[in-house]
């Protein structure tokens, strides 16, 4: 199932490389099977596509933490926290504060 999902989103991203939603879905699929470096690249592109998009920043930060790269996780999670505060997302804000406190 995961390989099929990855293949489907790879096809969509190839056809529409500027579609951030397809890229985000591909990143999540890659992340789910542990292809962290590939997923990170797609999450980064999602972050670059929209300055106000909090979710790819949260997922990228968590990925970097799992990968043992706290120095890469911290700025991404900090940016996500700033967005959570600005957008009044209380639950993500609390989660991000806890993640950052643990770094």
45-94: per-residue pLDDT in tens? 999 999 999 999 999 999 999 999 999 999 999 999 999 999 999 999 99
pLDDT of residue 2: 86
The total of structural domains in the chain comes to 1
Supply the CATH number for residue 23's domain: 1.25.40.10
Phi then psi dihedrals of residue 69, to 5 deg: -120, 70
Structure tokens at 44: 């980064």
- Structural domain span for residue 54: 2-101
Other C-beta atoms within 10 Å of 6: how many?
19
Are the CB atoms for 50 and 19 separated by under 8 Å?
no
Distance from C-alpha of 58 to C-alpha of 47, rounded to nearest angstrom: 10
| pTM of the full structure | 0.95
């Amino acid at each position: 199932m995961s390989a099929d999902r990855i293949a489907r989103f790879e096809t969509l991203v190839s056809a529409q490389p500027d579609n951030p939603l397809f890229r985000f879905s591909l990143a999540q699929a890659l992340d789910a099977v542990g292809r962290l470096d590939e997923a990170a690249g797609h999450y980064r592109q999602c972050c670059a596509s929209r300055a106000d998009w909090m979710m790819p920043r949260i997922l990228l930060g968590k990925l970097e933490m799992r990968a043992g790269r706290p120095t890469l996780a911290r700025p991404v999670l900090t940016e996500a926290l700033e967005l959570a505060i600005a957008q009044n997302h209380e639950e993500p804000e609390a989660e991000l504060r806890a993640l950052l406190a643990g770094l």
